[in-house]
Amino acid sequence: MSVELVVQEGLPHDWDAITRHAPVPARRWWIELGRSRLGAGYQSFTLRENGMALVSMIGAILTEPPTRARLDPFAILAGHTVSQGLAAAAPPPWSSEQSENVFPCLLLMYPDYASFPVGTKASAPAILGDFLAALTDWADGTGIAATALLYLTPTADPLMEALPATGFQLVPLTGQCDLDVTWGDFNGYLATLPNKRSAQMVRRELRRIDEQGLILTSRPLSAQEPELIRLRCMQVAKYGATPNVEVEQRYMAQLFARPEGDVTVFTMQRTEQVLGFAVFVQDDDIWTVALAGTDYAAAGSRFAYFSNLFYQPAREAPIKNVRTIAYGPGSLDAKRRRGCRITQLMAAGRLRG
C-alpha cells in the first residue's frame, strides 16, 4: 500500500470523477467561476493510495490579508469581523496574534463560501486523520505560518471531529441559508413562511411594487449585459470593495457559457430602467445565486433585492423543478423571515507549532 499527499497547482486530472456526487460548490465550473476570490491561484491537496483519491481539498496560500474581510482567516479568527456577524459567538482563537505571525496562511475552502473534503474516504475518521497529519506536515515544512478552513458545512462534520487532534481550534462562523421548495404555487410559498407576519410583509412589499408600476421580469442571460454590469459595480462599491468592470465582464461571460436553460435572470424595472437584478444558476434540482446588483440611488430600488432574490424565484422554482435555492451565508434574519433554513457553518485555524 502506497499512501501519499499530492500537492499541485489547480485541480487534479480526475477532479470531475472525485466530485461526481459532491455538493455543488466543489464542482469544477463553480471553482473556475469564483477562482479570483482566492487570489492569483489555488492548489489541490489529495491523499492518494496507489493513485486513487481518498481525500481531496482545494485552497490558496495567502501571503497577505485578502481585501474581503469575510475571506480573511486572520480577521475572522482574531475577532475583527464580529461586527459583520462572523465568528461573533465564541472567543477568537487568534485574538492575541499579529497579522505577521499568521501569513503566509493556507486557506482551505471553495470559492463559493463552502469547505468540505471530497473523495472515496472523505467521511472516514482514520483516513481524515492521515490526511490532516500529512497536510500539516507539508504546511510546516513549506514555511506556512497558519492553516485555516472557513465556511465548513455539515458535509465536513467527520473532518471537524478530526481537526482538534491535529491542533486546529474550531469556532462557529455564521449560517448558511437555503430555501427548500415544497410548494406548487406562490400562495403555497407564503404558507411556508415562519408566521403570519412574514406573509403579510411579503404581500405588502409586492403591493407597493405594483402600486409604483414597477415591472418584474424573468429571462435568460444575454451575451452582452452592460446595464447589469453597471448595477453589479454599484453593489460592489456599496460594500466597500473596488469595482472592476473587466472582472465583472469575465464573470458574465462564464455565466453566459453555461448550457441554455441553466441561467435565469430576474429583474425589477421602471419602464426601460433596470433597478436591480439577480442571476440564478441551476445544477440538477438546485438553484444557486451567482450574482446580484442594485441601483441604490433609483426610486423604488429598495424593493428590488427581495423581489429578485426571493419572490420571483419562489414563483418559478416549481416550474423549473427546483427543490432547493442556495443563498449562501449572511443576512440571516431577513432570509429566515422569507422562509430560509439556517445551517451552522464553522471555521477552524491552526498556527504552526
Could you identify the residue written with the cell 468540505?
A: 116
Partnered with residue 145 across adjacent β-strands are none
Does residue 198 lie within any of the structural domains?
yes
Does residue 328 lie within any of the structural domains?
no
Q: Any long-range contacts for 259-262 (C-beta under 8 Å, 24+ apart)?
A: 260/220, 261/220
Q: pTM to 2 decimals?
A: 0.94
Does residue 339 lie within any of the structural domains?
no
Q: Give the dihedral of Cα atoms 133, 136, 137, 139; nearest 10 deg.
A: 160
Grid coordinates representing 50? 496507489
Do 200 and 257 sit in the same domain of this protein?
yes
Do 194 and 290 sit in the same domain of this protein?
yes
Q: Which CA distances in Å does 131 have to 79, 102, 148?
A: 28, 22, 15
Do 39 and 137 sit in the same domain of this protein?
yes
Task: State the total domains in the chain.
Answer: 2
Distance from chain centroid for Cα 44: 18
Do 294 and 270 sit in the same domain of this protein?
yes
Does residue 54 lie within any of the structural domains?
yes
What CATH number is attached to the domain comprising 237? 3.40.630.30
Do 218 and 259 sit in the same domain of this protein?
yes
Report the pLDDT value the prediction gives residue 239, as an integer from 0 to 100: 77
Report the pLDDT value the prediction gives residue 78, as an integer from 0 to 100: 97
Does residue 118 lie within any of the structural domains?
yes
Cβ atoms of residues 3 and 47 within 8 Å:
yes
Those residues with Cβ within 8 angstroms of residue 142's Cβ, 6 or more apart along the chain or in another chain: none
Grid coordinates representing 31? 471553482
Beta strands in 94-200 (DSSP E): 105-108, 146-152, 169-180
Q: Which CA distances in Å does 64 have to 34, 59, 103, 104, 145?
A: 19, 15, 6, 7, 12
Does residue 7 lie within any of the structural domains?
yes
Element (H, E) at 5: strand 3-9
Q: pLDDT tens digits for the chain (353 residues)? A: 589 999 999 999 999 999 999 999 999 999 999 988 887 689 999 999 999 999 999 999 999 998 888 999 999 999 999 999 999 988 999 999 999 999 999 999 999 999 999 999 999 999 999 999 999 999 999 999 999 999 999 999 999 999 999 999 999 999 999 999 999 999 999 999 999 999 999 999 999 999 999 999 999 999 999 999 999 999 888 877 788 899 899 999 999 999 989 999 999 999 889 999 999 999 999 999 999 999 988 888 888 999 999 999 999 999 999 999 999 998 999 999 999 999 999 999 999 97
Task: List the Cα angle 199/201/203 in 5-degree steps.
Answer: 70
Cβ atoms of residues 53 and 12 within 8 Å:
yes
Widest CA span in the chain? 70
Q: How many CB atoms lie within 10 A of CB 249?
A: 15
Do 314 and 279 sit in the same domain of this protein?
yes
Does residue 11 lie within any of the structural domains?
yes
Do 195 and 165 sit in the same domain of this protein?
no
Cβ atoms of residues 337 and 194 within 8 Å:
yes
Give the phi and the psi of residue 168 in degrees, each rounded to 5. -85, 145
Report the pLDDT value the prediction gives residue 67, as an integer from 0 to 100: 83
Do 143 and 213 sit in the same domain of this protein?
no
Show the domain range for 255: 182-322
Do 104 and 246 sit in the same domain of this protein?
no
- In one-letter notation, the amino acid at residue 109 is M
Those residues with Cβ within 8 angstroms of residue 321's Cβ, 6 or more apart along the chain or in another chain: 285
Do 144 and 268 sit in the same domain of this protein?
no
Do 296 and 217 sit in the same domain of this protein?
yes
Report the pLDDT value the prediction gives residue 1, as an integer from 0 to 100: 57
Do 143 and 199 sit in the same domain of this protein?
no
Does residue 332 lie within any of the structural domains?
no
